[in-house]
Amino acid sequence: MSYRLEGGETVPDGIKRMALEQIESALDQTKTRSRKLDDAVHDTRVCFKKLRGLLRLVRYDLGDKKYQQENSSYRNANRRLSSVRDTAAMAETLDKLKERFVDQLAEDAFQSVRKSLTRSKRKRQAEKKKTLADVGRTIVAARKRVEKWSLAHNGFGAVGQGLTDVYKQGRLGFANAYRKQRVKDFHEWRKQVKYLWYHVRLLRQLWPEPLKNLADELETLTDYLSDDHDLALLRDKVLEQSGKSDDGTEIEALVALIDQHRGELQVKAKVLGARIYAEKPAAFVGRTRTYWQAWRWEVNVDPTEVS
């Protein structure tokens, strides 16, 4: 099926189904035998992020102890995968930066930096295989736990408080990021935006077209903030390696372009964030509750019996 609640299923059944689908997808990725290990690592991480989004949505219905156990498991596995993907991600970020400024750069610009990143990438292939295998064993254990999940509610009460928390944290994160202007604050805001994106996707059957549009806007905002974070990591890496470079001018030019592009992304994110987080949490969740009620009525009613 898909990452969304369907009209013909209960909330507990739908949540458990989506969790098991993401676990099976992640497990398939950890068994890859192809050379595309970076893709397997990336796709497995996406599955874990969706699982953590699910957990946040139903954390109060699941219970704090169970939530903490599950969330810690997926978070720790994701950190292990992140540690072996960083260099590949940085090479991709550098390539995207060159595309943004293609009219201003020579074709071979920043080649020495890129070679350094790809050399590191090749050295870590064996580590990626081992990490994927280790994570695979974690997933098998997680699947057994999910099969025993028990959710108490089959209505909006199962998801309302989780949705409130994520929207509220995203709204606060938006304000903090632009007030403090620190990389870690933009990173924290990005995580909450991504969770809200997952929640809206999961609930989009409540009112398909408007919620699809909101999900698309959230995805765009997530992309802005993800690109900004990747550039910040690349900046740190470049400055860390600057002492090994024979061309200080090249490093200065690269850092200047990174800073320029980050500024552009943060302006776009601010405009979009102001629109998405315009409502107070109670208003946003109250409106979503109304969509839920109309959706459940529509699912349960027989049109031929309505006079």
The CATH number of domain 1-85+124-152, selected from 1.20.120, 1.25.40, 1.10.1220, 1.10.101: 1.20.120
Q: How far is CA 97 from CA 90, 244, 254, in A?
A: 10, 22, 9
Can you tell me the distance from the alpha carbon of 46 to that of 78, in angstroms, rounded to the nearest whole number? 9
Tell me the pLDDT tens digit for each residue of 254-306: 999 999 999 999 999 999 999 999 999 999 999 999 999 999 888 776 555 54
In which band, very low, low, confident or very high, does the pLDDT at 307 lie, cut at 50, 70 and 90?
Answer: very low
pLDDT at residue number 224: 98
pLDDT at residue number 123: 60
Instruction: Check residues 178 and 129 and name the one with the higher pLDDT.
Output: 178
Single pTM value for the model: 0.91
Q: Crossing angle, helix 37-57 and helix 125-146, to 10 degrees?
A: 30
pLDDT at residue number 246: 59
